[in-house]
Structure 1
Amino acid sequence: MGAAISATAIPAWAQSANAAWANIEKAARGQTVYFNAWAGSDRTNAYLQWVASEVQTAFGVKLEHVKITDTADVVKRVRSEKNAGRQAREGTVDLVWINGENFAAMKADGLLLAPWAEQLPNFAKVDTVGKPTTRNDFSVPTDGQESPWGMAQFTFFADSQRLPAPPQSMKELLALAKRQPGRITYPRLPDFTGTTFVKQALIDTVADPSVLTKPPVPAELERVTAPLWRFLDELHPHLWRSGRQFPQSPAAIRQMVADGELLLGMTFNPNEAANEIAARRLPASVKSWQFARGTIGNTHFVAIPYNARSPEGAQVVANFLLSARAQARKADITVWGDPTVLDLTRLSPKERAEFPVQALPGQVATPAPTLPEPHATWVDPVEKEWVRRYGR
């Protein structure tokens, strides 16, 4: 009788949701999920191997990491499949690591599975209030078509023995570059971190930041971005190699910081310097910081294409990626060091205990406000104009 009373105390909608998820888990068992994800990090690759082992044991889902270098290639492949008439369960991609302009393109072209993400049982633990980018990707509403996986915020790092008073704005960074010519640079566009540096400069120099929350108006683009180009024109002569050449990646810059050639590096992972200190690739005197008024932040996600062969298996994997266990492991700097999307206050004491609580050398001591990304459609025109002006 007690069991019957408990069952009737559960709202009908909750019972229905539980039954629906049980059916998804049942259908997922035995499926193979082809997860197309960037493979440029040994830590990330090792983490996905652990995920594959966990979902195979717990849910009978086989996870195959399809290693890619550019998510845009996945977007092109799924678009080609749609143009070729490949229908539901006829695609080659089950799950994709995605955000920004790639998500915007897939959403606009109808390349994604109908809304599913917010029906995942573990989505209830996501911090959608304190981390609003978990529902908003480069100013494009996710509408349940991608599931949040990790957080990112544009962050600088430097050896405090060489740079005891780091710049707190683009204006201060320019002043530092003038005082220390040749010792600052940023990655060549279209590297993601390099583009983010330029977008941060755009936010810091634009007359009305609200225009960046909407797609650019072609007739207004030159006027709106004029302060950005004036800033970069003033900055570049004082950069490494006088701004005539740019490193290809943030990893190259990180190495030059370690060697003492450059004063500061930049990353989209606030824990990267702590990761590098723990791996003994940076000295413990390196500190991380964000601009006082804030830096660009966003969430990275996983999405399921409209024609995934194993959509149930993909949802089971996405739900596991949102579990406290998987998020805590990912947040551990000895594993990956990727900040969680979860609201720790929504977790049980046992779940919260899995997350690291002690600040480590190299971590951001005082997180700054998170500034929203410009709308995804700003990326292409800004990158093209940068390449036209400086990329040759």
Structure 2
Amino acid sequence: MNNRIKRSTVLSTLAFTMASLSLPASSQTEAQNWDSVLQQAQGQTVYFHAWGGSQEINRYLQWAGKEIKSQYGVTFNHVKVSDIAETGSRLLAEKAAGKNEGGSVDMVWINGENFKSMKDNALLYGPFVSTLPNWQYVDKTLPVDSDFSEPTDGLEAPWGVGQLVFIHDTDTLNNPPMSYMEMLNYAKAYPNKLSYPKPPEFHGTSFLKSLLIELTDNDPALSKPVSEADFAGVTQPLWNYLDEFHKVAWRGGKQFPAGTAETIQLLDDGQLDLAITFNPNAVFSAQANGNLSPTTNAYAMNSGALSNIHFLAIPWNANAKAGALVAINFLLSPQAQSRKGDINIWGDPSVLSKQHLTGSAAQTQQFKSVAEPHPSWQSALEQEWLKRYGS
């Protein structure tokens, strides 16, 4: 499908969804438009599909749901999924069935490959981002209009900043490996003490991408759509590394943690010397909840931390578009972003400018950024990893 066809499909989808939402004419003021959205949202129920693998995030969303109900009369239901690709498949099935209204999904938490897939298949409502009253508070110096090098085109609103970092206990490992080659040497010196989540789990795939970037000195091919000609040559150092690493990894590389929560548990139990997370402040919330020792600390490799923005979007056929707009706008408010960034609650780095934040959210730590590869590399890496090591 060429870009002209894609754009026309998105525009026709937008025309349909705008009509179904019955927003006022563009000649009216933005305030009047938003008042109309608030009125339509009253009494709606929003089904928000989002990863459910973190107690801290789940508790935060429970709080957000109570606030959205209290302030706007909108019921906010967190539908927990293990991989948002499951939601993408559901939306594709609804598209194929011609279900262009009354869809089962009202909001999604996405980025990267999942966003590109939904965008390419015209599964998203919008553009809507610049119509949100709280858009004014977003830090525009962040890459909030691009997702893994794919332009967002106003189809998803930035929600937070993610960075791939490691957690260690300073009591047992005071000088952690600062590069992936040091990590391999450490694993050989101390077998059965390092691992990573099993791809295609998000943190496992992120580990593969971060490792590949360092091993290839960020090969320029990684910023372009993957090709069969490039893939084998560019990724060979990755497979050579993993072949060596798995021999000395936790459980001999025959079993892998299910996700970041399990690596944190294994670190706390003393089975692993490093846990992995995509939130540089997750260590603080884990300490506050008693899941990690106060002597634990997060760090990034010397080369930097794989970084991206994560986003909120609305499917083209959402049943509660107005409610979803209200919910997203609330989640971008200084109140919600300050609570989300509180290191004792979630600690997710905010997308708002610092002057709009209160408490620890205004001081959350971030590391030197390493850009994500083109989203097409993700699926290719996952498939090859599963072929080599998935059994």
Aligned to 1:8: none
% identity of equivalent residues? 43
Matched position secondary structure for 2:158: strand
Q: 76-85 vs 19-28, which deviates more?
A: 19-28
1:73-105 Cα shifts (integer Å, max 9, x gaps): 211111111111122x32111111112221111
**Alignment correspondent of 1:379:** 378
Q: 1:14: how far off?
A: 11
Cα pair distance change 1:55/1:14, threshold 3 Å: farther
Q: Are residues 1:57 and 2:67 paired?
A: no
Give me the whole-angstrom Cα distance separating, in 2, the residues matched to 1:63 and 1:357.
27
Structure 1-normalised TM-score? Answer: 0.88
In the other structure, the counterpart of 2:106 is 94
Deviation at 1:54, TM superposition (A): 1.5
Contact 1:293–1:368 at 8 Å: present in 2 too?
no
Per-residue CA deviations over 1:33-89 (Å, capped at 9, x if unaligned) read 2222222333322222222222222222222222323211211111111111122x3
SS in 1 for 2:213: helix
More displaced 10-residue stretch of structure 1: 149-158 or 28-37: 28-37
2-structure distance, mates of 1:36, 1:253? 24
Residue in 2 that maps onto 1:243: 253
What residue in structure 2 maps to residue 221 of structure 1? 231
Q: Displacement of 1:111 after TM fit?
A: 0.5
1:1-16 → structure 2 map (5 Å cutoff): 16=29
Q: Is the 8 A contact 2:342 2:359 kept in 1?
A: no
Bigger mean CA deviation after superposition, 19-28 or 267-276: 19-28
Aligned to 1:276: 286
Q: Which runs of 5+ in 1 are unaligned?
A: 1-12
Q: Which of 272, 276, 301 is matched with 1:262 structurally?
A: 272
- Per-residue Cα deviation, 1:127-147 (whole angstroms, up to 9, x for no partner): 231x21x22222211111011
Deviation for aligned residue 1:356: 4.3
Does the CA contact (< 8 Å) of 1:91 and 1:307 recur in 2?
A: yes
Map 1:274-353 onto structure 2 (within 5 A). Answer: 274-345=284-355, 347=356, 352-353=357-358
User: Cα deviations across residues 186-226 of structure 1 (Å, max 9, x unaligned)?
Assistant: 11211211111111111111255322122101222111111
Return 5+ residue gaps in structure 2 as ranges.
1-25
How do 1:152-231 and structure 2 match up within 5 A? Answer: 152-206=162-216, 208-231=218-241
Distance 1:354 1:343, change over 3 A: same
Shift of 1:323: 0.1
The 3-state SS of whatever aligns with 1:112 is: coil
* Residues 24-173 of structure 1 mapped to structure 2, 5 A cutoff: 24-87=37-100, 89-129=101-141, 131-132=142-143, 134-173=144-183
Moved over 6 A (4+): none
Is the deviation greater in 26-35 or in 162-171?
Answer: 26-35
Q: Distance in 1 between matches of 2:269 and 2:320?
A: 47
Three-state SS of the structure 2 residue aligned to 1:342 is: coil
Match of 1:10 in 2: none
Quick one: distance in 2 between partners of 1:155 and 1:353? 24
Mapped contact 1:325–1:354 kept (Cα < 8 A) = no
- Residue 161 to residue 49, structure 1, CA distance change in 2 (3 Å): closer
For residues 118 and 362 of structure 2, what CA distance do their matches in structure 1 show? Answer: 37
SS of structure 2 residue aligned to 1:226: helix
TM-score by length of 2: 0.88
Tell me which residue corresponds to 2:367.
368
* CA positional deviation for 1:167: 1.4
SS in 1 for 2:29: helix
Judged with a 3 Å threshold, the aligned counterparts in structure 2 of structure 1 residues 62 and 249 are, in CA distance, closer, same or farther, namely closer
Q: Secondary structure at the match of 1:386?
A: helix
Give the number of equivalent residue pairs. 366
RMSD, aligned CA = 2.0
The SS at the match of 1:223 is helix
What amino acid sits opposite 2:50 in the alignment? A
